[in-house]
Structure 1
Amino acid sequence: MWNLGSLEAEVMDLIWSATEPVSVRDVTGQINASRAQPLAYTTVMTTMFKLFRKGWLERDKRGKQFVYAPVEARDACVARLMTQVLGSSADPEVALLHFVEGLGTERSTALRSALHRLPDADEPETDLP
């Protein structure tokens, strides 16, 4: 993900997959379950605190520990990052063209479907079905 280190991205993936806020201990356990070399609790704690300071996570105190949740859903985050990257282009139309050319059939179909669901910019919106 844009401006995230590999461990930060791994932590965000786990937190986005969670159905409720998670503790550092929860995330440490999940990360270490798939690693040959386990990470220290303090490493994960520092990473989650950095994500909190960067605005990726929110946290609440529950008992003696903090629990963390994403500030925004994964798809909303991806859309925001795509908008930021596109905004940094000198020629957004050319950047979009290169992006679309690189899409496979499945993603091209998804893009067309999403575009068809948007209201036409040239036509006024109506309440008619």
Structure 2
Amino acid sequence: MLGSLESQIMEVFWTARRPLTVRETLDLLNADRTPPLAYTTVLTVMSRLAEKGALVRKAQGRGHTYAPAAEDEAALAVQGVLRTYGDAAVSHFLDQAATDPDLRKRLQALLEKDS
């Protein structure tokens, strides 16, 4: 689960659909914000998002670029559950699907859509 500023930062990345520097992210966040956020605030939150696995940090020159590790917040949540619980999470999900006909139908439709 993301905090308010974390969610805003991730939304900037999901909208941009490209890697961004801290400065680019700050400028996009501050476009409609009063008072503006400080560079160090955004840097700190982005560093923490990278430590959590929500952003991927890559060295570029003297700084870094960041990119989202998942396509949206739901995908981040799934990654977190799988990272924390691994096969046990998958097993519980499959057990739930086995007893829920509507969930089974939705899964089947998604599998057919992706094939």
1:62, distance to aligned residue in structure 2 (A): 1.1
Structure 2 gap segments, 5+ residues each: 90-94
The total of aligned residue pairs comes to 99
Give the number of the structure whose alpha-carbon radius of gyration is greater. 1
Q: Is the 8 A contact 2:54 2:76 kept in 1?
A: no
Query: Is 1:69 aligned to 2:67, yes or no?
Result: yes
Say which SS state the counterpart of residue 35 (structure 1) adopts: coil
Aligned partners of 1:39 and 1:116: how far apart in 2? 45
Partner residue in 1 for 2:54? 56
Aligned partners of 2:47 and 2:63: how far apart in 1? 12
Percent of pairs with identical residues: 39
Say which SS state the counterpart of residue 72 (structure 1) adopts: coil
Aligned partners of 1:114 and 1:82: how far apart in 2? 20
1:39, distance to aligned residue in structure 2 (A): 0.5
Say which SS state the counterpart of residue 65 (structure 2) adopts: strand
Structure with the larger helix share: 2
Aligned partners of 2:9 and 2:67: how far apart in 1? 11
Structure 1 gap segments, 5+ residues each: 98-110, 120-129
Aligned partners of 2:110 and 2:26: how far apart in 1? 41
Q: Is the 8 A contact 2:69 2:76 kept in 1?
A: no
**Structure 2 counterparts to residues 80-119 of structure 1, below 5 A:** 80=79, 114-118=106-110
CA 118–19 in structure 1, closer or farther in 2 if over 3 Å, else same: closer
Partner residue in 1 for 2:6? 8
1:114, distance to aligned residue in structure 2 (A): 3.8
